[in-house]
Structure 1
Amino acid sequence: MENVFIARQPIFRKNLSLHGYELLFRSGITETAQVNDGDSATSEVIMSTFTVFGLQDLVGDSTAFINLTRRFLVESGPLPLPSDRTVIEILEDVSVDDELLAAVQRLKKQGYTLALDDYNYSRETEPLLELVDIVKLEMPVLLGDGAEDLIKKFRSYDLTVLAEKIEDRPQLEHCRSLGCDLYQGFFLSRPDISSDTTLSTERLAIIELLSKIHDPDAEIPELEAVISRDLSLSYKLLRYINSAYYQRSFEIRSVRQAIMMLGMKELKRWASIVSLCNATDKPEELVKLLLVRAKMAELLANDLSPELADACFMAGLFSGLDALLDRPMEEILTRLPLAEDIKKALIEGVGPTGEILNNVLAYEVADPSGLHLPKLTAEEVRQHYLSALQWQQSQNQMI
C-alpha cells in the first residue's frame, strides 16, 4: 500500500458539469505507466482509498469510478465501497464466462453501477450488455465509420455512453454530435484556440488584474484602487479575511486593512485564485485542477527546495491559463510581469520550478515514469497529493 499512486480524472455531463471522477492508480515507481500486477494494484487502491485517503477526500460528494480485474471481481468478498457512490469498471480484457457473469449479477444486486471500460463489441462480451449500466468508448472507436451504429446498438440496451480519452475540444464536439452522455479526457486542460478567437473584455480584465497584482513595483494604494473598483472583488476579499480560517477577534472593514493584514504574498495568491474563478465560461473543475496543481507543487518544493515554494505555487496555478483564456501561453505571459523562472516553467517546462511542475503533471495523470523525486518516498508524494486535494476543498469554501 505504501507504493501505490492515486490520482483522479473528472468525468463530465453534456453541460460540462461534474458527474464523477475515475480513480487512476499505479503500483510503485516503474519505467512505464502500466500496472504489472493488476490484482495487487486493485487491492491497494481500494484499501488506500478507505484507509490512507478516504473517499470523501478523493472525490468529495461525487461518484468514484474504479477499475476491477476479473480475478478481483470473481474471488473477492463484499467490497468495502459504498454502492450508491461507486461505479465499478470491468476491464476490457476480461474473459466472459458463467463465473464472471455471476459475479457481475451479484454486484448489480448489491446496488453498484457497472461500466464496461474501453469496450469493443463482440459476441463473447455481448451478455454483459444486459447487466451493465455504462459503456465506455475510446476516441479511435468514436472516430470510426461505425460509431453511430454502435451507439444505436447500446441505446437498444438503454446504456449510458461515456466517451473517454478525449484530447481536445474538436473531439469533444464530435462526441457530443454522436449523442454521447458522459465525457472524459484531457480536453479540459487544453485551450480551444481558433483564428477568430480574441480576448473578451472579461478576460482582458482578468489579465489586467493579474498584471497589477504581480507587478513587483506595485504599491499598496495602487492595489487598493484596483480591488476597490470591483465591488464583487472587494466583497470577496473582506469575506475571506474575516472568515473562520483566520480566526480574528475583530472585523476587518476596509480593503486597505485587508491588504495590510494579508501581506503581499497571500494577497497575490488570493487575487490570482479569484481571478481564475472569474473565467465563468469554463467548468469550475478546471480551476479546482489548477488549485491542486499549485498546492502540490508548493508542498513538493517545501521538501526539495523551500526557496522555490512560492514560484512553484504560482507556476502550478497559472499552468492552465491557456485553457482558461483560450489563448497561447506565450501570448498571455507577454502581458504578465512574472519572474523568468515561472515563465520558463510554463512555456518550456525547464529550470528548477519547471522540473517540480513536471512532476506534478506526471502525478496528475498517474504516470510514475514521469516522476523524478529521488529524495521523496512514494508515500510522501501521495500524501502531498492528498493534502493538495484537501486544501483545494477548503479554498472552494472561501473564494
Structure 2
Amino acid sequence: MTDTQPETAAPAGADASNLVVLARQAILDEQRAVFGYELFDRSTSGSPHTAASDAALLFNALSYAGTEALGGNKTVFINCTHESLAGPHLELIHPEKVVLEVPILDASATPEQIAQQLPVLQQLRTLGFRIAFSQDVLRRAYASWLPLASFVKLDLQAFRPELTEPLVKFAQAHSQARLVAEKVETAEQHERVAALGVKLFQGYWFARPALVQAQTIRPAQATILQLIDMVRKHADVAQIEQLLKRDPTLSFNLLRFINSSGFGLSVEITSFRHAVMILGLKKLFRWAALLLTTSRGSGSPPAVGQTAVVRGRLMELLAAELLPPEECDNAFVVGVFSMLDSMLGVPLAAALETVALPQTVVDALLHGQGVFAPFLELTRACESGDDEAFARAAQALHLSNHQVNWAHLQALAWAETLESGQ
C-alpha cells in the first residue's frame, strides 16, 4: 500500500521499522510535462532535508514502493555514493530506467584520485546507465569525466547569477549532456535559464518534493534463508516455486520487485515460475540476500542479518580448507542459521522446526556436536575478540592464524558487496 503526499515527517504512530519513506521531486521539460523524478530516502534521516543515498534507497524503492507511486515508467534519478557504484545491486535494475547522480569528489581530491574513478564510470556507461553530474564536472580537473555525462545539473543556488550563461555555454560546447536547472525557485530564474537553451527544470518553483510512503510486507527471515540455501544448491525452478508458494509475503515481494519500473520489463509477471526464470539464480540470490540484510524480525536490528551472512560465508570458507565441496553449502547454512533466534525472536530449537535441515546442521546448531561444531566455535571466536578462544578453536582445526584471518576478511568483504554500502 503506497500513497503520495507533500513532504512532511512520517506519521506519528507509524511503525518506523516497517515504513519505507521515499521523497520524489519532479523534473519537468519545457512544456512542464514530467520527464522524471529524483528520489531521496527519508526513512532514516534525522532531518526531512537530509537524504541518505546508497543501495538501500534503490532496493527499497524497487522492492517496497509501488511502480505508480514512483512515477510509472518515468526516468528515476538516484543519488549515489562512489562506494555504492560498484555494488551488485546495480545488476538488479534495468539501466534504461535509471540515471545515477554521481557526486564530484571532495575539494582535496588529487588528479590521481579523480582518474582512479574513471574506469568505474566507464563501466557504468558500458552497462547502459546514464550518469548525471553537478556543474562542478565543468571544472578543468574533471575534463575526463565530462564526456561520460548524460546530464549536467546546474544548481542555481550554488553560483552567482552572472555565471549562469558562461556555465551553460561551456557545457553545451564541450559535452553532449542534457542540462537540468535545479533549485529553480522563481519565475525569473526559470526564464533566464530557458532563454539560454536549458530544457529540463527542477525546483520549488514547479513542485516541492512529495513523500511516497509504503508499509513494507516482510517475509519470514527463515524463509529467505531457506531460499538462499536453495539457490546456492542450484535447486530447480519447481523446488523454488514451491517455496515461494508456501510464503505469500516472500512471493508477493518478488513479484512486486520484478514488476517494478526499475526492472524494465514490458509485460507484467504473475507466475512465480516465470519470475524465477526471468530473474535467474544469480540475481535471485542477490535479491534474497539484500532482502535478508534489510529486513527485521521481532525488532532485531538489520545488523543481525548482516552478521549472520558474514558467519555463513566465513563458515563456508573455513570448511573449504578441510571438508569436501558438498559440505561447504551446509557449513554456510550453519553459520547463517546460528543467529535465527536473534532474528526471529524465538528459541533456536523452535526456529529450526520451521525448516528441514540435515542432521549434521542441527547437531552443530543445537548440540555443539558433529563435523560443523568446531567451525562454528571458531567463527564465534572471530567475532568475540577472545584471543585464547580463537587460538584454541583454530588449533583444534589445524588452521593457521593467517588462514582464519584471511577467510574472515574475505567474508566481511563479501557481505559488504551484498549490501553495497548500506
Q: Could you say which TM-score interval applies, normalised by the shorter chain? A: 0.3 to 0.5
Tell me the TM-score normalised to structure 2 length.
0.41
Tell me the TM-score normalised to structure 1 length.
0.43
